[in-house]
Amino acid sequence: MRYLPLTDADRGEMLAVIGAASIEDLFVDVPAGARLSGLVDLPLHAGELAVERALGALAGRNRAAGAGPFFCGAGAYRHHVPASVDHIIQRSEYLTSYTPYQPEIAQGTLQTLFEFQTQVTELTGLEVANASMYDGSTACAEAVLMAHRVTKRGKAVLSGGLHPHYAATTHTLAHSAGVHTHRLAAAIDAEAAVIEAIDGDTACVVVQNPNVFGTVTDLAAIAAAAHAAGALMIVVTTEAVAFGLLKSPGEMGADIAVAEGQSIGNGLNFGGPYVGLFAARESLLRQIPGRLCGQTVDAEGRRGFVLTLSTREQHIRRDKATSNICTNSGLCALAFTVHMSLLGGAGLARLAGLNHARARALRDAVGAVRGIELLTPRMFNEFAVRLPRPAAAVVEALAARGVIAGVPFSRLDPGGGMDDVLLVCATEMITDEDIACLVQALETELRA
Amino acid sequence: MTAMSIGRPTRPSSLDVAPDKARPGAGLLQYEPLIFELGGWDKTGVDFPHESVAQDASDLRGLTREPPRLPGLSEPETLRHYVRLSQKNHAIDLALYPLGSCTMKHNPRMGEKLARLPGFADLHPLAPISTVQGAIELMDQLAHWLKTLTGMPAVALSPKAGAHGELCGLLAIRAAHEARGDARKTVLAPTSAHGTNPATAAQAGYRVREIAQTADGRVDLADLAAKLGHDVAAVMVTNPNTCGLFERDVLEIARLTHAAGAYFYCDGANFNAIVGRVRPGDLGVDAMHINLHKTFSTPHGGGGPGAGPVVLSQALAPFAPVPWITHGAGGFDLIEEPRGEAAAALGRLCAFHGQMGMYVRALAYMLSHGADGLRQVAEDAVLNANYVKARLSGVMSVPFPEGPCMHEALFDDGWLEGSGVTTLDFAKAMIDAGFHPMTMYFPLVVHGAMLIEPTETESRRELDRFCDALLELAASVRAGDAERFTGAPFHAPLRRLDETLAARRPHLRWTPHSPDP
């Protein structure tokens, strides 16, 4: 067994040191009836070649996004990640280290987390950021719980533009904590509708920018209305590249900003692992969930970094903690930080502009197809269109032609009455040829 | 898992620090500033196409910002920065990493290679189901292995880490009680539990009551029986527990729990001690999360990502969160909404389908080890821990000396009494001796706890090197050389860090006005 260093001779000698006659002696505390005498009914060990063949075969039964024209977004985005990012995160010192509990020998992880937090505050336009959450959706749910703790109020208003998976995740967590979620009906361009739902028990409004239909909105009026009523505004961003072009959540008055950071540094990975970004106004610092990395000094006065304010956390506060989160998404946060350090603000702005340009080209081309109606009034890099028939069937039909046209909204919100809506995304990965293929496939399919 | 950090600066300090530039670093270990101190404010290390499409944001008038104020560096500068920083980290690839309850074992690199196959890595979670059949089949295979190894009928794959899995399990329990009109308000957990257990119970809307512990480090059955009542929804027990001991009375714990109408939640953080030898399903467990990053060795990555699938009993299976995997004539499918077959599901715990990248690595690990190798994993993990315990117990004090331990060996600070050396000091001196410290001050039920988990991927030679180092340090303690400990570490990239200062004056991001350097 290639991963197990002990030999039978080692085992025998070690048992002798322990004073045990056999390995069975070390399992005596397990009730006799629960000790398996034989092997569980699973295959025996296999060599690296055999395992590669088995999993390679499974991988081969999937169509990778890069296999042809591909237009899916809706919370997960296909961007180019420089090779050096993956090289860094595969270094043993980052890949095979633990949460930095011993800061003297974890400055690599800690300093990169401090850089990550700094980058997240600048992108979101807020003052404090944590060291990452599992993903954007759980970060959103945690933000709602945080608003509940801050305001002591019991209701969260979720906009109809919020990604349905985010709304569902938030509902699950909020419900268990006794917070009522009031989710508005799905709407292409109606983030401001949350204003009418604010009442005296509203802890927060949750709005998304760009929203799940791709619509970009100035949220300042919503922030003003929320604040006037004593509620917080939580802004969700599922496409982190948008931070390079759009007004930041903080600039529009967000109290808490959460985002899916996958777009920067991380691949699609069929939905995970991803990395949740979480930032807030400084006054809310003590209610932030998750790890925080802070600057300090060592015994000789040199700068160093440590995990800090842990009195908010489960390992100290137990049932009074701000969250139960322990492991977060460290390596994905590192990938984010390395990619962001390559891009810089100037590069991210350039990348965002490029995405917007590709999406405009796509929108103009798709909008010209007979029978297709453009629905998103102002977009960043994705938009919704109405098809003359159910989008799911069109997507499957186009997949058979080798074109992945986008995400049917019914996949996210079945029975929501928007079965004819298709979400289409263009990143810098999309070429003019890809767009031409999609247009031709749509024309052929819709004519049929 | 957790280690309580207790700041003990060896010199009171302020944030007005001496710039490290004065000390370029010892040997080849380079001083490295923050990325924000390296220039590059208008630079980028990414080349963009000579774009023919005009970059025009006229659609978004009034909705745009100036470029973020963040530096960008060329590839050589960026690589050098992050490689230099990496050298300030300890890692399992460098030496034994004995963090009890955290399971730092070798991470097979094959998993990294396989998770990067385009058929897994370049796969969109909402791509048409017909184009992702292999991915769902992989999830189904992983589910089969987890169910078979635990002897449980169902598994929810989507939880993203152990604590998220705990939440999944408790929400399933809550849903099961509510479905029969029996809403309950209390969760019982031992004092020795991981901090995530009470934190999760609170997050799931429960009040937490602690169960006392016996003198031999196990759940006090009398106390459990006394506290079990009609209001108790679940009993959360880690098994093997956080003292590294198997709960001998686990069947009775399950029986009492079920007799009270409650469910038995097992914290599976320590499943690596029994995998292939004991099935939690045979112990009366109703729900248990499995940290794929512990038992099945997906890399910890400096604090995640993890993955925390939860196996469920028949009674709890209908309440598992979406997505559900189904298999019919047309191949694999996903039920992504709590409706139809999944109408009782507790809802959704995260966007999409969970930690696919971790599933690939974990399944690669399982297939590699097989039924025989996984059983050997548990045996060698337990053997190694008992070997360390045997070699050190003559010198370091053992709070529960009777009988074998499982995968980790627990010591307390009784043997340090009167020496002027604390558990923290001893841990920091281990760094000078070339090892990462063990988990310290956890579990809370033992004074000055030192919890050592060597794992099965350490050779006898490395175990001996480790034990020799600790025995040599212990001899120093006995010789009265307290200086070696109270000032430690002396040879790490930094000396002891002032955690109190960090908490008192939170400084959580770099700004142009940062106080240094």
Which of A23, A271, A321 lies at the smallest CB-CB distance from B383?
A23
Cβ neighbors of A153 (< 8 A, separation 6 or more) are A147, A200, A201, A202, A203, A230, A231
The helix/strand/coil state of B335 is strand
Q: Which two tokens stand for residue B54?
A: 């005009």
Shortest CA gap B414–chain A (Å):
22
- Chain B CA closest to residue A331: B301
* Cα gap A141→B196, rounded to integer Å: 18
Cα of A408 vs its chain's centroid, Å: 20
Give the 3-state DSSP-derived string for chain A, with helices as H, strands as E and coil as C.
CCCCCCCHHHHHHHHHHHCCCCHHHHHCCCCHHHECCCCCCCCECCCHHHHHHHHHHHHHCECCHHHCCECCCCCCCCCCCCHHHHHHHCCHHHHCCCCCCCHHHEHHHHHHHHHHHHHHHHHHCCCEECCCECCHHHHHHHHHHHHHHHHCCCEEEECCCCCHHHHHHHHHHHHHCCCEEEECCCCCCCHHHHHHHCCCCEEEEEEECCCCCCECCCCHHHHHHHHHCCCEEEEEECCHHHHHCECCCCCCCCCEEEEECCCCCCCCHHHCCCCEEEEECHHHHHHCCCCCEEEEEECCCCEEEEECCHHHCHHHHHHHCCCCCCCCCHHHHHHHHHHHHHHHHHHHHHHHHHHHHHHHHHHHHHHCCCCCEECCCCECCEEEEECCCCHHHHHHHHHHCCCECCEEHHHHCCCCCCCCEEEEECCCCCCHHHHHHHHHHHHHHHHC
Q: Which residues of B touch A57 (CB under 8 A)?
A: 134
- CATH assignment of the domain containing B481: 3.90.1150.10
Shortest CA gap B307–chain A (Å):
9
- Residue contact B351–A137, C-beta within 8 A: yes
Same domain, B143 and B256: yes
* Cα gap B316→B319, rounded to integer Å: 6
Distance of CA B457 to CAs A438, B274, B389, Å?
A: 51, 15, 17
Asked if A375 and A399 touch (Cβ cutoff 8 Å), the reply is: no
Judge residue A41's burial from the number of C-beta atoms within 10 Å of its C-beta, 0-12 exposed, 13-18 middle, 19 or more buried.
exposed
Give the 3-state DSSP-derived string for B287-306, with helices as H, strands as E and coil as C.
EEECCCCCCCCCCCCCCCCC
CA angle A104, A108, A112 (to 5 degrees): 125
CA-based nearest residue to A17, from B352, B204, B386, B226: B386
Domain that holds residue B184: 111-365
Q: Say if residue A210 is preceded by a cis peptide, omega within 30 of 0.
A: yes
Distance of CA A248 to CAs A115, A124, A151, A255, B286, Å?
A: 19, 5, 24, 12, 46
CA-based nearest residue to A380, from A256, A207, A247, A285: A247
Best of B65, B188, B249, B511 to disrupt the A interface (most A CBs within 10 Å) is: B65
* Cα gap A323→A392, rounded to integer Å: 38
Same domain, B430 and B281: no
Same domain, B350 and B418: no
- Residue contact A40–B300, C-beta within 8 A: no
* Cα gap B26→B128, rounded to integer Å: 55
pLDDT at B26: 61
How high is the mean pLDDT of chain A?
A: 97
* Cα gap A327→A334, rounded to integer Å: 14
CA-based nearest residue to A327, from A172, A134, A140: A134
- Residue contact B123–A65, C-beta within 8 A: yes
Tell me, yes or no, if the two domains A66-80+345-447 and A83-339 fold the same way.
no
Q: Tell me, what DSSP letter sits at residue B329?
A: T
Best of B92, B126, B375 to disrupt the A interface (most A CBs within 10 Å) is: B126
* Cα gap A236→A166, rounded to integer Å: 9
* Cα gap A175→A169, rounded to integer Å: 10
Sequence letter at residue B488 = A
* Cα gap A280→A325, rounded to integer Å: 18
Same domain, B349 and B474: no
Last residue of a domain, one of B304, B331, B365: B365
* Cα gap A92→B301, rounded to integer Å: 9
Which of A299, A327, A346 lies at the smallest CB-CB distance from B9?
A299
Asked if A233 and A205 touch (Cβ cutoff 8 Å), the reply is: yes
Largest CA distance in chain A: 82
- Residue contact A302–B18, C-beta within 8 A: yes
Best of B15, B20, B58, B63 to disrupt the A interface (most A CBs within 10 Å) is: B63
- Residue contact B149–A11, C-beta within 8 A: no
Q: Domain spans of chain A? A: 66-80+345-447, 83-339
CATH topology of domain A66-80+345-447: Aspartate Aminotransferase, domain 1 (3.90.1150)
Same domain, B346 and B384: no
Over chain B (517 residues), the average pLDDT of each successive run of 10 is 41 45 60 93 91 73 96 97 96 96 96 98 98 98 98 98 97 97 97 94 95 96 98 98 97 98 97 98 98 97 97 98 96 96 97 98 98 98 98 97 97 97 98 97 96 98 98 98 96 95 96 66
Q: What is the pLDDT of residues A150-207, one digit of tens each?
A: 999 999 999 999 999 999 999 999 999 999 999 999 999 999 999 999 999 999 999 9
Q: Which residues of A touch B346 (CB under 8 A)?
A: 172
Same domain, B297 and B382: no
Q: Report the pLDDT averaged over residues A312-325.
A: 87
Q: What is the pLDDT of residues A12-47, one digit of tens each?
A: 999 999 999 999 999 999 999 999 999 999 999 999
Shortest CA gap B168–chain A (Å):
10
* Cα gap B472→A186, rounded to integer Å: 67
E strands within B107-262?
154-156, 186-190, 207-211, 232-238
CATH architecture of A83-339: 3-Layer(aba) Sandwich (3.40)
Task: Find where tokens 């004092």 sit.
Answer: B191
CB pairs under 8 A between A and B: 755
Shortest CA gap B479–chain A (Å):
25
- Residue contact B502–A218, C-beta within 8 A: no
Best of A102, A127, A263 to disrupt the B interface (most B CBs within 10 Å) is: A102
Asked if A80 and A351 touch (Cβ cutoff 8 Å), the reply is: no
Same domain, B323 and B448: no
- CATH assignment of the domain containing B314: 3.40.640.10
- Cα dihedral A393, A396, A399, A401, rounded to 10, equals -60
Last residue of a domain, one of B365, B400, B432: B365
Last residue of a domain, one of B347, B365, B383: B365
* Cα gap B249→A446, rounded to integer Å: 67
Which of A55, A114, A345 lies at the smallest CB-CB distance from B67?
A345
Higher local confidence (pLDDT), A239 or B55: A239
pLDDT at A315: 86
Asked if B298 and B319 touch (Cβ cutoff 8 Å), the reply is: no
Q: Which two tokens stand for residue B413?
A: 């600070």
pLDDT at A317: 86
In total, chain A counts a number of residues equal to 448
Same domain, B380 and B360: no
- Chain A CA closest to residue B345: A172
Which of B69, B199, B282 lies at the smallest CB-CB distance from A321?
B199
Phi-psi region of B112 (alpha: psi -120 to 50; beta: other; left: phi over 0): alpha
Same domain, B203 and B309: yes
Asked if B79 and A90 touch (Cβ cutoff 8 Å), the reply is: no
Q: Which two tokens stand for residue A227?
A: 């604040």
Q: Is residue B303 part of a domain?
A: yes
* Cα gap A283→B318, rounded to integer Å: 43
CA-based nearest residue to A379, from B264, B59, B273, B94: B59
Q: Are strands B331-335 and B324-328 parallel, antiparallel or unpaired?
A: antiparallel
* Cα gap A317→B50, rounded to integer Å: 54
Shortest CA gap B412–chain A (Å):
19
Shortest CA gap A370–chain B (Å):
23
Q: Which residues of A touch B148 (CB under 8 A)?
A: 40-42
* Cα gap B246→B256, rounded to integer Å: 18
Give the 3-state DSSP-derived string for A180-213, with helices as H, strands as E and coil as C.
EEEECCCCCCCHHHHHHHCCCCEEEEEEECCCCC
pTM as predicted: 0.97
Sequence letter at residue B65 = R
Same domain, B296 and B383: no
Q: Is residue B169 part of a domain?
A: yes
Asked if A189 and A236 touch (Cβ cutoff 8 Å), the reply is: no
Q: Is residue B404 part of a domain?
A: yes
pLDDT above 90 coverage of chain A, percent: 95
Q: Please give the tally of structural domains in chain B.
A: 2
CA-based nearest residue to A87, from B86, B362, B48: B86
* Cα gap B88→A429, rounded to integer Å: 36
Residue B447 — φ and ψ, nearest 5°? -75, 125
Q: List, as one string, the DSSP characters of B400-458.
A: S-SS--SS-EEE-SGGGTTTT--HHHHHHHHHHTT-PPPEES-STTSTT-EEE---TT-
* Cα gap A326→B162, rounded to integer Å: 8
Same domain, B355 and B394: no
Residue B415 — φ and ψ, nearest 5°? -70, -15
- Residue contact A104–B137, C-beta within 8 A: no
* Cα gap A127→A284, rounded to integer Å: 10
Same domain, B347 and B404: no
Asked if B304 and B161 touch (Cβ cutoff 8 Å), the reply is: yes
